[in-house]
Amino acid sequence: MTSPAEPSRTPTLAQVWEVVEELWPASLAEGWDAVGPVTGDPEQPVRSILLAVDPTMAVVQDAVDSAADLLITHHPLLLRGVHSVAASGFKGRVIHRLISSGTALLTAHTNGDSAIGGTSDVLIRSLGVEDSVPLAPADSGVPGEGIGRVGELPRAVTLADFAERVFGVLPSVAGGVRVAGDPTALIRRVAVCGGAGDSLFDEVRASGADVYVTADLRHHPASEAREAGDGGRPYLIDVSHFASEWLWLGAAAGLLHRALTESGFQVEVAVSGVNSDPWDFILTP
Ligand SMILES: [Zn+2]
């Protein structure tokens, strides 16, 4: 805590990295993931931080325009090994823009998902479920850490009303919200996974969920889940990947700001308003 005799100060990037590691430890990330610092000088001062889902050029430009010293994105820019960051490719252009503008980049991906207060935790709370447990608990971590969440609404609602609630809490995107199931069916037990969640169907079925909210549901896993459930539970609600993870940013910004303030640092933390959902419009029957 800051004492009155010790005024809050501007942290270095290395000091912010330490606080981020406490909030979203790299050890919670999946083995295939690439999290942590991407660009930046550990000694550079960080007065302002911007959070976003994707490290697209529009998001990087938003960070530059808002004079952010550090951009934290949920998705990695460089998930797989590269042999060139020349500005002739789009990822190279992003790297060049970051370095030439002095903007550091850091990724908090599946470590941000698994943490208590992670993407699925924030999503299920925003839908009205206060107490939830992970669908797939983390191998190394404290109880409550892991991928996905499942828990119960205070009272049963119809699938149609619940879908309206999902639509209402998420940012507006072209693809909207797709639902599989009887709109009049009553549901109470809710499973969610922020981002692509069709690898968790076994866990969702085992959890006894009435409905599963996730993103990027492909034809075959969704079709087979409906067949296995004989057209019944779990009903499916397919949302935008970007939208399902964007909700986390506000909570993460609040958490990071509080942790930095408690460490005696003065930093502004904000969420980018750039919509990085890749879809622009949709045709429906
Ligand atoms: Zn994602």
pLDDT digits (tens, 9 = 90+) for 110-153: 999 998 899 999 999 999 999 999 999 988 778 889 999 999 99
Residue 8 has a pLDDT of: 78
Judge contact between 209 and 150, C-beta under 8 A: yes
Cis? peptide before 234, omega within 30° of 0: yes
The closest alpha carbon to 34, from 84, 108, 85, belongs to 108
Average confidence (pLDDT) over 206-211 = 96
Taking residues 148-160, what's their average pLDDT? 98
pLDDT confidence band for 204 (50 / 70 / 90): very high
Q: How far is the CA of 236 from the centre of ligand 1 (A)?
A: 18
Distance in Å, CA 2 to ligand 1 centroid: 36
How many whole angstroms from 6 Cα to the centroid of ligand 1? 40
d(CA 176, CA 266): 38
Amino acid, single-letter form, for residue 53: V
Expressed in angstroms and rounded, the spacing between residue 1 Cα and the centre of ligand 1 is 34
Residues of the chain with pLDDT > 70, as a percent, come to 98
Distance in Å, CA 54 to ligand 1 centroid? 9
Considering only the C-alpha atoms of the chain, give the largest distance between any 2 of them, rounded to a whole number of Å: 67
Per-residue pLDDT at 3: 52
Ligand 1 centre to CA of 194 (Å) is 7
Distance CA 93, CA 117 (A): 33
Q: Report whether 118 contacts 248 (CB < 8 A).
A: yes
Q: Nearest 5 degrees, angle CA 144-CA 147-CA 150?
A: 70
Is the pLDDT at 215 greater than 80? The verdict is yes
Output the pLDDT for position 231. 73
- Distance (angstroms) between ligand 1 centre and the Cα of 74 equals 7
Residue 98 Cα to ligand 1 midpoint, Å, equals 22
Q: Are 87 and 96 in contact (CB under 8 A)?
A: yes
H or E stretch at 97: helix 90-101
Other C-beta atoms lying within 10 Å of the C-beta of residue 45:
15
**C-alpha 240 to ligand 1 mean position (Å):** 10
C-alpha 196 – ligand 1 centre gap (Å):
6
Q: Given the structure tokens 């050029």, which residue do they identify?
A: 57
**Whether pLDDT at 71 is above 70:** yes
Report, in angstroms and rounded to the nearest whole number, the Rg of the chain calculated over CA atoms: 20
Provide the mean pLDDT of the chain. Answer: 94
Q: Which two tokens stand for residue 94?
A: 């992003």
Distance 243 CA to ligand 1 centre (A): 10
Q: Give pLDDT, residue 5.
A: 56
Supply 165's token pair. Answer: 């609630």
Q: What is the pLDDT of residue 139?
A: 81
Distance from the CA of 241 to the center of ligand 1, in angstroms?
A: 6
The pTM (predicted TM-score) of the whole model is 0.93
Higher pLDDT, 156 or 115: 156
83, pLDDT greater than 70: yes
Task: Classify burial at 39, counting beta carbons within 10 Å of its beta carbon; exposed 0-12, middle 13-18, buried 19 or more.
Answer: buried
Backbone φ and ψ of 49, nearest 5°: -125, 140
